[in-house]
Chains A and B, each alone.
Chain A
């Protein structure tokens, strides 16, 4: 299924239900242009297709929205450098009591262990560097691929 929308946005959405031992699994794939103007719509699409109001409480829905938006911003701005010839791939999967969202850019990647904690007193007035910190504190598990250009976030329903 392809999401309707402005032609310039060129969001590509595929959604499927896959029978599994733990119940129906919803998988959503998105191909997102490197444009920060798309972030809000992508987050809305993911929440609508993967995460109903009844499945997740309001606070954790907010956490997921923030984490996905931050991962997309990092991928588009820091990863793809807003290069309009590059894409960001988003894979989301609802399985049992957890949702997993993977965001992959076409940049060279980075070492997430080298990102300073923005809450140290001497770092507080830095204008950037809070996105990854927020992600790590708002979802239950965060992993990167070895190259550092793909982040996988898992949020439990509990």
Chain B
């Protein structure tokens, strides 16, 4: 997995995940979000439009990240899940836990001004 992080004009922290989010690399993403939280970032979008696969450990990492962000008074949105990945979120009912948008742009626009 590789990921890129950037901040949009409104200050939302956007992380794009490339490749796979799996048991062998989930910690990298958790660390990236944790470091951003420590730098006072509170609004996050994690985009999966270039992600082929998320395993159950990756799903669990997203649950942990979401919890940490909420505990800090922040908000996390997900975007860009393909049909297969979305089916995993639906199967595990995690689609009820996360705000999920079709595209990163829509997710970024979903935060209150």
Q: Which residues of A approach B to under 8 Å, CB–CB?
A: 36-37, 39-40, 59, 62, 65-66, 69-70, 73, 77, 118-119, 124-131, 133-134, 137-138
Contacts and interface: CB of A to CB of B under 8 A. Distances in A.
A69 B93 CA distance: 20
A69 to B, nearest CB: 6
B20 A40 contact: yes
Given A39-B24, A119-B93, A124-B96, 5 more contacts: A40-B22, A124-B93, A126-B60, A127-B60, A131-B57
B56 A130 contact: yes
A134 B57 CA distance: 12
- Interface residues of A, dominant DSSP: helix
Interface residues of B, number: 23
B67 interface: yes
Given A119-B92, A119-B93, A124-B96, A134 B24 contact: no
B9 interface: no
B92 A77 contact: no
Nearest to B84: A62
B88 A134 contact: yes
Given A125-B67, A127-B63, A39 B92 contact: no
A77 B23 contact: yes
Contact of A128 (B53, B60, B94, B96): B60
Contacts of B23: 36, 39, 73, 77
A41 B88 CA distance: 21
